[in-house]
Chains A and B, each alone.
Chain A
Amino acid sequence: MMMSAEVAEVAAVAGLTVHHYLGVATILFGLGFAGVVSSRHLIRTLMCVELMLNAVNLVFVAINNHVNPSDLSGQVFAIFILTISAAEAAVGLAIVLALFKNTASVDVEDFSRLKW
């Protein structure tokens, strides 16, 4: 387990700044969003939502290390996000299960009973 100062040191040697982390996180976030919009399988949609939340975790941890390494509020926030996204995934899977019992399908295209 590396201390945050060591992480910062290694990152500095590799020429990594906070902008690199933010860039990676933004790309991950974009991939997650693209997945939510485009995937037809419900489970995959839920996984993409998780990916978006994990990208946010990366931003919090990177910014925490960059701005204020002695205060761990960003890392604590990341743990809260992990916990809550786990709860959300559990509820999401339960809903998918209920839908599957009703319709025997997990294809997004099959769920269009509600529309104007």
Chain B
Amino acid sequence: MMLEAISYTLIQTSFGQFIYNQNLAFLAPELVISLTLLMTFALSLAKTQVDQAKSWGIALLGSVVALVSIVMHYQLFYTGQASASQSVMFGMFEADLLSVVARFILTLGFILILHLSKRYVETRLPSQTGEFYTLLLTAFLGALLLCGANDMIMAFVALETLGISSYILTGYLRNNLKSTEASLKYLVYGGCSSAVLLFGLALIYGLAGGSTSFAVLPQALSQASDLGAWASLAIVMILAGIGFKVSAAPFHTWTPDVYEGSPTPITAFLSVISKLAAFVFAIRLLTPFAGVGNENVALLIGLLAVFSMIVGNVAALKQTNIKRLLGYSTIAHAGYMLVGLAALTQNSLGALLFYLATYVFMNTGAFASAMIGDELLASEDISAYSGLIKAKPWFVFAFSIFLLGLAGIPITAGFFAKFFLFQSVVLSDLGNLGVIIIALLASTVSLYYYLNIIKVMVIGEPSEQVQRLIGEGKDSTWNLSKTLTLATVICLIFTLGLGIFGQNGLLISESAMSDHGATVTQNLR
């Protein structure tokens, strides 16, 4: 009763009316994150490190509340509420099932990244803890908004919120040359790619008859029967911009450098959160092209996919730094996912979303393992991991599961994700077996470098660092960060669990795509 009375009074105010009319309630996760961000910002002004350290707890609380609000929104879709799928803010933000599912995965991933960051930030950046989480939350806010952005202006602002915060976070180890250099490279490449993407969007804006909304694109594109030279230029530029954001070859050159130079939690953030948000943006922007001029768009995305798979997997073969290797593996995974995007059918996009979900957990797990390895061995070199099984068998077990998942070995979620994705592409109209054969060959090549790490850890002679670990034995004063361990265990559970319950996950992502397809028109088959 009380609650109803309060909400009734709230609606009577003009601000309440605005919230009600514009369906702002569907933006609850974003609003919660914005509030959290302001609180951590206020804390960052505190002088003492004790106060600053509280910002981690606030950030975690905020993301958990955001997660709960997303789950509550998700339930609306299953209680048969007609108003479950809503346009928010004059159609700028589409709160459909796709955005809900994507934001759910995104928030889970972000909570894991927070767990990864805790110890790292406490030990390496004790005086800037508040700032760090403020920037991290800002980047996350951009990613959340990007998942539902249905308007060019909204998408661009969200993309840059994510981007600019990431540039700063990449260079956060201010006195570390690698970190600042990575930050500079990211900024210059990022700025250029934004300009290229915007140029493409500007031309599409003209084709769409002067509307910035993605909603009018399907109709506008079907009427522009002969897509002239400017339209072709627009498509090429948009794909180049998206290719940069998802780190697809030949626009990948920034990825390994930035991944190696960034603080490791930020590397995980970039490879998981940024990539997921960028793919959802790509899905929203490219769905209207399904059906019109489809062949050329599909061909270009297919080319990006083939390049990424080949470049990522071949270059990963000769890496010795674990973060750099994971960077190239990310490029290869972007290639597999682009295969699903190229087909542009409802099933292939659903499989792509499921792939993204499994990828979030596998890759966060791999980066968490790299962080534990860094704490144990004080090295990012793969050779330092040699013979680690004799000192830390459980760690080797967990790391191996993540690597097997990334390689796509059965039982892990990675296998089912690849299987569903390639199956849906084979069944699509595109039916391009050439791409699938290249993808299968590329994943075979990837086995070499993933299994090589496991081989080194299991049957290699113990390296200097590992011998020191064995020598210390039980007397070791080293204690593992509890949050990092928790994040690793959660990733492990999801990597195996999504494999077992893969079919259910796929169903959810496919219904998300059918909801998205229905709002875009019947373009998606």
Answer yes or no: B188 CB below 8 A from chain A CBs.
yes
List residues 317-339 of chain B with CB under 8 A from any CB of chain A.
318-319, 324
Chain B residue with minimal CB distance to A81? Answer: B198
Answer yes or no: B206 CB below 8 A from chain A CBs.
yes
**Residues of chain A within 8 A of B157, CB atoms compared:** 80, 84
Answer yes or no: B160 CB below 8 A from chain A CBs.
yes
List residues 145-186 of chain B with CB under 8 A from any CB of chain A.
152-153, 156-157, 160, 164, 167-168, 171, 174-175, 177-178, 180-185
- In Å, the complex CA distance between A32 and B191 comes to 11
- In Å, the complex CA distance between A76 and B257 comes to 36
- In Å, the complex CA distance between A55 and B203 comes to 12
The answer to whether B152 touches A77, judged by C-beta atoms less than 8 angstroms apart, is: yes
- In Å, the complex CA distance between A98 and B171 comes to 9
- A33 with B168, Cβ < 8 A, contacts A84-B157, A98-B180, A114-B182 known: no
The answer to whether A71 touches B210, judged by C-beta atoms less than 8 angstroms apart, is: yes
* Secondary structure class of chain A's binding surface, majority of residues: helix
Residue B187 contacts which of A55, A73, A91, A102 (CB distance < 8 angstroms)?
Answer: A91
Chain A residue with minimal CB distance to B213? Answer: A73
Write the A98-111 contact mask toward B (1 if CB under 8 angstroms, else 0). 11001100000001
Residue A74 contacts which of B196, B210, B261 (CB distance < 8 angstroms)?
Answer: B210
Answer yes or no: B473 CB below 8 A from chain A CBs.
no
Answer yes or no: B111 CB below 8 A from chain A CBs.
no
The answer to whether A91 touches B153, judged by C-beta atoms less than 8 angstroms apart, is: no
Could you pull out 29 A-B pairs where Cβ atoms are within 8 angstroms? Answer: A32-B195, A45-B188, A49-B188, A49-B191, A49-B195, A52-B191, A53-B195, A53-B198, A55-B195, A55-B199, A56-B199, A59-B203, A59-B206, A63-B210, A68-B209, A74-B210, A76-B153, A77-B153, A77-B156, A77-B212, A80-B157, A85-B191, A88-B160, A88-B191, A95-B167, A95-B168, A95-B171, A95-B183, A98-B180
A contact set with B: CB distance below 8 Å: 18, 22, 29, 32-33, 36, 42, 45-46, 49, 52-53, 55-56, 59-60, 63-64, 66-68, 71, 73-74, 76-77, 80-81, 84-85, 87-88, 91-92, 94-96, 98-99, 102-103, 111, 113-116
